Amino acid sequence: MGNINIKCPKNTGSLHFCYKQRFSIVLLALIDYNRKFLYIDVGAYGKQSDGGVFRNSSLYREIINHTLDLPPPMPFPGTNEEMPYVMVADNAFPLSNYLMKPFPKKNLTLEEIKYNARLSHARVSVERSFGGIVKKFDTLNKPMEIGVDYAEIIVKCICILHNIIISLEGLPDDVDQIDITNLNVRPMSVIRDNNASSNEARNIRNSFKIFLNS
């Protein structure tokens, strides 16, 4: 998730006022290994919590309803154990059959540490995608002097153009030097889920852990 800076909208009070002491809207994104945007949800109030933004998204509804259009399960290379395709996320998101997150940081085993490191490495694509749009589109480096509705449209167009540029030009060579400061990537705040992670989701995470340590 990232905060897009905007000018103070009329008659909204402090709803758009985020943790950075600025007015903003939130960009929630699902990104693939090529750093393309697969799904975005833009326009939530800057003040809204990670949990509120995620739970109000169509992505969350499809996750909990098991209606995501994912490929069928496939076995790990060299094994017969079929595993689902999953998304990777940080601790701000709830563990599910479709969404893998790190093990809690306390009292980790060596295998869990290695799993967390691999998960973190996979999530680099997310930060580089956010950094890429900040670098390419200068309008994200300052508050947008337009209404919220138009700001949402511009951010959606930027994400589409980002995908087109990658399709035409490939990934940039200077990815390690991309700065995401101006996008105000939101600090992690753990979602308190009323329903504990299912045994099936925990078993799937353990299977990934075992494979990544093999």
- For 157-169, the pLDDT digits (tens) are 999 999 999 999 8
> Residue 47's pLDDT is what?
64
Residues forming a β-bridge with 2: 27, 185
Q: Which amino acid would we find at residue 54? A: F
> Residue 187's pLDDT is what?
44
3-state secondary structure 24-82: EEEEEEEECCCCCEEEEEEEEECCCCHHHHHHCCHHHHHHHCCCCCCCCCEECCCCCCE
- For 186-211, the pLDDT digits (tens) are 444 444 443 456 889 999 999 999 99
- C-alpha 96: how far from chain center: 15
Q: Looking at the chain, how many residues does it have?
A: 214
Residues with pLDDT less than 50, the chain: 175-183, 185-195
> Residue 108's pLDDT is what?
92
> Residue 14's pLDDT is what?
65
Please report how the helices 124-136 and 110-122 are oriented relative to each other, as an axis angle in degrees rounded to 10.
Answer: 20
pTM of the model: 0.77
